[in-house]
Every structure is written in C-alpha cells, then in structure tokens.
Chain A
Amino acid sequence: MTSTTDTRISIAPRHRLPAASSWTLTIAVVVALLALLPLGFVLWAAVVTGWEMASQLIFRSRVGDLLANTVLLVVFTIPICAVLGVALAWLTERSDLPGARFWSWLCVTPLAVPAFVHSYAWIGMWPAFNGLPAGVAISVVAYFPFLYLPLSAAFRLLDPALEDQAASLGLAPFAVFRRVVLPQLRLALCGGALLIGLHLLAEYGLFAMIRFDTFTTAILDQFQSTYNGVAAYMLALVLVLCCFVLLGLEASLRGHSRYARLGSGVARRPKIARLGRWKYVALLLPAATAAFALGIPVLTLGRWLIAGGAGVWRIDEVGLALWQTLVICLVGGLATTAAAVPIAWLSVRRPTRASRFLEGCYYLASSMPGVVVALALVTITVRTMLPLYQSVATIVLAYVVMFLPRALVSLRASIAQVPVEIEQAAASLGRSPGNALLATTIRLAAPGAAAGVALSSLGIMNELTATQMLAPNGTRTLAMAFWALTGEIDYAGAAPYAVLMVAFSLPLTFLLHHQSKKIAGR
C-alpha cells in the first residue's frame, strides 16, 4: 500500500511548475500581452470601423498605389540584396580575396548609418534622384548587411565534406554550389530577407526624404496633417496584413528541413577557393558596394560639415540632444533586456509549448512597424490613460515591443551557455532558487545581457518613426533633431547629428559582427 501512495506523491508535482517558474511565466505572459497591444489595437480598430466604412477606406486608388509601391520595393530590393549578400559572403568567407577580413567589416558597417541618413547622403549627392529606383538603390545599401551577416555565418558553418562528397559524385564546382551550397543557405536567406522586408515596410525617414510613398509614410502624413484617425487605422491594417504576408511567405519557404551537419565530430575548415587572375575583378564588387554604402554618406557628411564649419556644432543643442538620446537609449535598452529575461530563462531552462508560443508572440509583436506601434499606443493612451500620453513609460513600452527580440537572442544564447548543473550546485550548497539563479546563471550571462542592452540601444538610437510620435514634450533626440533640420533644408546643420549617430552606432555594429563570428565558433 505504501508503495502506491509513494508513487502518486512522486508523480503529481511533475505537472506543476515550481513556484519560481510560475512567477517567471506570469511575468512573461504580462510582457507578451503588452507586446501584443498594438496588433490587438489594429484588429480592434478594424472591427469597430465596420465593413462598409473599412472597405471604403481600403479599396481606393490611394491604397492601391501604396500597395503597388510597397510590392515593387520589396520585389526589387530583396533579390538584389540576396544576390549581393551571397556574392559578398562567398568572396569574404570562401575565397582568397585580398583583404577579405577588412571587406567583411566594411560589409557590416553600413548598419551603423541610419537608413534616413543614407537617404540624406544620396540626395545630397544627386538631388533629383527619387521614386522607386532611388528607394530600391538606397534600401539595398542600407539593408544588405541584414543578409550578409547570416549568410557569411552560414558559409563559415557549412560542412566542406558535403561539397567534397558532391564532387566525388561527379558534380562540377558550379553544380556543387547550386545543388549543395545554395540549399544550405536557405535558412540564412529566408531570415535575412524577412528582416529586410519588415524594415522596408516599417521605414519612414528613408522614403519620406526621397518622396517615395509607402504605407508607413502615408500613415505618418495622415497622422501629422489631418489627424484622420480611421483612415490611418485602415492603412495600418493593410500594413499589418503585408507584414503577415511576409511572415507567412518566410515560414513556408523556410520549411522544416534539418540543415545541421549529421554525425559526430567537428567539421573540417572550409576550403578557400583560389580566384587567380579573377582576384582583381572580384575586388570590384566589395569596393563598389563600400563606395555606395559608406563612401556616399562619408562624402556628403564631410562636405556639409566643411560647408557648415564650426558654426553647426551648437554645443548646447547638439549636446542636449546627445544627452537625451543616451538617456533614452540606456533606459530603453535596460527595460527591453529586463523584459526579455523571463522568457529567455524559460525558453532555455523550461522549454515548453507555452514558452515557445510566448516567444512567437514577441517576434510577431516586434514585426509590427514602428508607426503601427506608435499609432496604437497614442490612441490607447489618449482614450484611456491621458497622463501616459507622450510619457517616458509609453515610449519605453514601444521600444520594448519593437526591440525585445534583439535582447532575447543575446540573452538566450548566453543563458544556454551556462550549464544548469552550476545553478543546481549552488542550490545544493544551500542557496535559495532565486539566490542561486542570481549567483550563477545571471552573473555568467551578464555579457549576453550587456550585448542585449547594446543591440536594443542601437535600434532605439536610430529609431525615428515611433520616437517622433511618442516622445515626451521637449524631447529632441539626435534622430529627431536631424529630421527636423533636414525638413528645414538645413543640411549642414543636420550633419553633426548624423555624425554622432554613426559614431555611437559603429561600436555596436562591430559587436554585432563579432557576435555573428562567435556564433559560428570562430
């Protein structure tokens, strides 16, 4: 009899999470609900507006034009980025290109230049360049690193034995690339393409400056000029649907295949292709890319700085903007990372269906364009909690929603590197669960948390759309000041703000590059 009782006692608690986990889960659920607020708002707005009104606002030529612009932008930009990304990643990782390491850094550096600064640089160079061609060209130079980074990591991780095997089965080098290498880049291609697609949908400054209308610019125009709530909500709804289309496309293209190396042991180092006399021709590609993606911003900024002289460095104004930017980046970065801790811990230590679902919610929420997040939070605060309108709390919430995955990725990777046994050892030495977590995992995961703060801060520093709509009165970040001055055609006056944004983003961009190398184990 005793034995049956014992069995029941030992089985029962399995289904229940320990107290610490359930608290963590509760916090993670609350954060997820907050993160889903903008999406929920858009759906609510659609329902409240009603079919008749909604269809009037959606099925009109203006929306058709915007949709055509968006589709063309995505359809041209992503394939060009993909081809450029694959070519550059192959050259820098798998060929004996002279100075490959140097070019590899240069391929990531454009990320340090905010997209709207790229745009500013291009129209500084060619004022008449606008419309779709300009949109595509500037988007390519601003966003191709999002594909280059995962692709170069994937190239480093490819198992060269598979390529050898394919050659022994009679495939010539190009066929090996097409049938063995390219399929293995699929995950990197899909992930990078999705990221670029979402940026194209969400970006405001880049397209506003070259007068290329997208949903985001249209929503912001509507919001700023006519304050036509319902029309803006309906545009936001279509924009959200576009995001869903991209997410769905990516999910279906990505597939469920396993791409990791089968079997045991460590792969050999990949073979380096000899370019021979093509070496100097091949150099043209990274050189031209760097010239467009970095040369143009450097030239334009340099020219405006020289033209403006010392006068554009109004220390009080520039200094104040820098100070406010740093404070908001730090607060936002810390809040974002803190919000990511519960789900990061759960997904590594207690991976369940619920934790995976929650993680999916965060990613979905962060794929909402900044303009939608801001529109939702403005409307919600104005209608229900006016004191929160344009408050620090609201803008920080917007940043948490938009940048949480950046912190989550770094945090999760570093928590996963801390063996759970260390936490258990601390517990066996008499520490309470919370105390053990603090003394072991959290301390050892600190570098990952720091990287999370840094990466989300980078996003916040260069964020313009939501910041403009949500910033408390009297706030003037670097991005806002830059935007205001370019709006007044004071390009020289705007230059110092752009230079500061780039200067502060550079180290963070290098951190990103370093992380991608580390993930690849090199």
Chain B
Amino acid sequence: MTLLTLTSLRKQYGSVAALDGIDLSVTAGSRTAIVGPSGCGKTTLLRLVAGFDAPDEGRIVFDGQTLADGSSQVPAHKRGIGIVAQDGCLFPHLTIRQNIGFGLEAEASVKSARIAELMDMVGLDAAMLSRKPDQLSGGQQQRVALARALARKPRLMLLDEPFSALDTGLRAATRKAVTDVLTAAGITTLLVTHDQGEALAFADQVAVMRAGRFAQVGSPREVYSRPVDAATAAFLGEAIVMPADIADGQAKSPLGVLPVDDIAYRGKAQIMLRPEQVTVSQAGGHNGGEGASGTIAEINFCGPTSDVRIRLGGDPQGFSFRLDIPSRETLFVGDRVTIGVAGAAHVLR
C-alpha cells in the first residue's frame, strides 16, 4: 500500500530551482533514503513533506489526503508527520522530560508512563529525564529527538541527516538503534543523507538526487550495481568506468573481453566495474595467467589497504585506474600485475 506520493514537485528559491519535478512513491512500513551531494535539494524536499515550506507546483498525497497541491496546503502541525533534524533540535530551555512530552496531550500520569516507555524504547536511562539537552552527548540528544518525534505515534518519520553530526563509531551504533526502533514500531521512514553508505545500509528504496531531480530510484542493490549513468555510479561508490565495444553480451574493453549485463546492446558505450569485482596479482604468480596485465604506476600505503594506480599496456599515457588492495600484497611501483574480473560489467547508457 502506498502511504506517500509526491507528484511533479517543484520549488524555486529566486532563480535557483531547488526541486525540479520530483516524483516518488513510498510504501507503508518501508524505509526510503534520499541521497545526494549537499545543495541537491534533498532537505528542501523533506521540508515540503513536513509542511515547513510550500511547493510551487506539484502534489503531496499522504494516506489518501492531499497535503499540498500548489494552491493550498495543510499546515505542519496538522500533518502528523514526525521529524528528527540533523542536530536533534531539542528545545534548549526544556528538560529531557519536557522535550519528549512536548507534543503529548494527556493527563500527567499517562504522559509520564508514555515518556518512560519512550526512553526505554530508544535505550536511554530514565535518570536523564530531569537533565537539560546541553548535558547530553550528541548521540543521546539524537535519541531524545527520536523519542520526542515518536511520542505522537506518527505514521511517517522524516530523518534529516540525523547521524551526520555524530562521530564515526557513534554514527553506526545510533543508526542501528534508530533503525531497530522504527522497524519495531512499523513506522514508514524517509531518510535524507549525503552519505551513500548510510543510504544503502538503511533503506529498502534509495533515491539518488542531483540538482533538484531524482537521477535514479530503486533498491539499494539495483542503484549500486546498475546505476543509470557514470555520475550516479561515482556518487554511490568507487567505479572503474571505461569505453567498450559491445556485441552479443560481450564487451571489448581495455581490460580485455568482459561479459556485460545487457545482452541486447550493440555498439560503443561506457561500461562500469565496481572495484570489488577486480582482483590484482603479481604477474607470473600462482593465480596469474588469465586476464589483462598492467603495471603499478603509483602506490600509497593507507594501513589495512593500499591505494594503487594501475596502468594497462606499455603506453605511459594509456588507460589507468585506481584500486584499494589489501596491504599484505607486497607490490612496488613498476611491478607487472595480472588483473582478473569477476561477474559482468554494467553498461552505462
């Protein structure tokens, strides 16, 4: 069942089109991530759904009710949509108890029980209830913000980069906690982030956004392994993109003849490989012999992995690509290597 439908949403700030025709449909109970570089319009999109701003054109339909359609819009406080902002946005003048109970309308005892339940749900100690937000760590503040938004039992939860202000270790843990809570509560979620790893790990559906438009919408696996274009491919992770001649499900590329995922395609096109499809071994080694060969042109030791640039063939101006390889491979600049490829290359049209 579709819970939220966005149709041809447009929003202009001066001469800049922040949103340039956005279409999206979100299934009830699902998790959708909108991922894109800063300034691509993803926060604007979230603000329109929350009701903080009005679209210039287009419709927002939530659970059968039109929330906004260019001419009129339902104000934010009547939408029943929860939001957790980037830095939690807790009310600095209120205690944690007052923050969580802020949107609750119930008699004191019911309210108090609900607040305790929410604190438990987000994994915070009830002893924190009388503290002020500035006495909590960043991760704790985010959990309070989530509890506050959950208090009103929203059908849709908007997460506006809620983990980006946290440091790396805390980010993964908080993300896991938030995902678990939302899944357990069965709440449909829309996450906005610039972190592709986060989007892929969090969502059932990923929308890749660029310059006010969705470049691609699909499952995490689909957008990662079958991106629509080179820019989307590069945004979602490291990609080796090369020119190729394609016919009968085979591509003639600088890395030799590779199988492709588009059997029908014929002609010249760009193909893409993800680095994890590529293996490198010393030429003449025990698993060498198959595949193309190249030379190590550059190597940077980065601890567990080393960042190497491999040049194909003998031409110093020839095709080259970067790759992270495990540091246990004892390779040096100038070494000859054999390059293996697993799986099919993706044809970028």
Contacts and interface: CB of A to CB of B under 8 A. Distances in A.
B3 to A, nearest CB: 17
Contacts of A166: 91, 102
Interface in A185-199: 186
B9 interface: no
A167 B92 contact: no
A179 B105 CA distance: 14
A180 interface: yes
Contacts of A172: 75, 77
A171 B132 contact: no
Contacts of B51: 167-168
23 contacts: A162-B91, A164-B52, A164-B83, A164-B89, A167-B52, A167-B76, A168-B77, A168-B81, A170-B78, A172-B77, A176-B77, A180-B91, A183-B93, A257-B93, A257-B132, A262-B87, A262-B89, A262-B90, A262-B133, A262-B134, A264-B87, A264-B165, A265-B86
Chain B interface bracket (under 10, 10 to 19, 20 to 34, 35 or more): 35 or more
A168 B82 contact: yes
B102 A169 contact: yes
Interface in A122-180: 159, 161-162, 164-173, 176, 179-180
Contacts of B89: 159, 161-162, 164-165, 262-263
Contact of A167 (B77, B93, B151): B77
Nearest to A186: B93
Contact of B141 (A161, A173, A257, A262): A262
A168 B76 contact: yes
Contacts of B105: 170
Contacts, number: 91
Contacts of B141: 262-263
Given A164-B47, A261-B92, A264-B165, 6 more contacts: A165-B83, A167-B76, A168-B50, A170-B80, A180-B91, A258-B133
A385 interface: no
Interface of B: 47, 50-52, 75-83, 85-94, 102-103, 105, 132-134, 138, 141, 148-149, 151-152, 165
A172 B148 CA distance: 17
A176 B75 CA distance: 13
Nearest to B98: A179
A260 interface: yes
Given A257-B132, A259-B92, A261-B92, A169 B87 contact: no
A184 interface: yes
B92 A258 contact: yes
Contacts of A170: 77-78, 80, 103, 105, 152
Contact of B134 (A161, A171, A258): A258
Interface of A: 159, 161-162, 164-173, 176, 179-180, 183-184, 186, 257-265
Nearest to B90: A262
A165 B85 contact: yes
B77 A258 contact: no
Nearest to B102: A169
Given A262-B134, A263-B165, A164 B76 contact: yes
Contacts of B77: 167-173, 176
B163 to A, nearest CB: 13
Contacts of B103: 169-171
A99 to B, nearest CB: 23
A259 B93 CA distance: 6
Nearest to B103: A169
Contacts of A171: 77, 103
Contact of B149 (A168, A179, A259, A264): A168
A164 B83 CA distance: 9
User: 5 closest pairs, A vs B, by CB?
Assistant: A263-B87, A169-B103, A167-B76, A167-B77, A164-B52
Residue in B50, B91, B94 with the greatest tally of chain A CB atoms within 10 Å: B91
A513 B102 CA distance: 36
A184 B86 CA distance: 21
Contacts of A162: 89, 91
A445 B168 CA distance: 40
Contact of A169 (B92, B133, B152): B152
A279 B253 CA distance: 68
A164 B132 CA distance: 20
Contacts of A159: 89
A9 to B, nearest CB: 38
Given A164-B52, A257-B92, A259-B92, A169 B148 contact: yes
A516 B103 CA distance: 34
Residue in B86, B92, B103 with the greatest tally of chain A CB atoms within 10 Å: B92
A262 B83 CA distance: 17
B68 to A, nearest CB: 14
Contacts of B87: 262-265
Nearest to A167: B76
A164 B88 contact: no
A451 B78 CA distance: 49
Contacts of B50: 164, 168
Residue in A164, A258, A264 with the greatest tally of chain B CB atoms within 10 Å: A164
Nearest to B76: A167
Contacts of B148: 169
Nearest to B85: A161
A458 B90 CA distance: 41
Contacts of A260: 92
Contact of B93 (A161, A169, A184): A184
B149 A169 contact: yes
B136 to A, nearest CB: 9
A161 B102 CA distance: 15
Residue in A170, A184, A265 with the greatest tally of chain B CB atoms within 10 Å: A170
Nearest to A263: B87
A184 to B, nearest CB: 6
Contacts of A179: 102
A167 B85 CA distance: 13
Contacts of B90: 262
A59 to B, nearest CB: 42
Residue in A164, A171, A176, A263 with the greatest tally of chain B CB atoms within 10 Å: A263
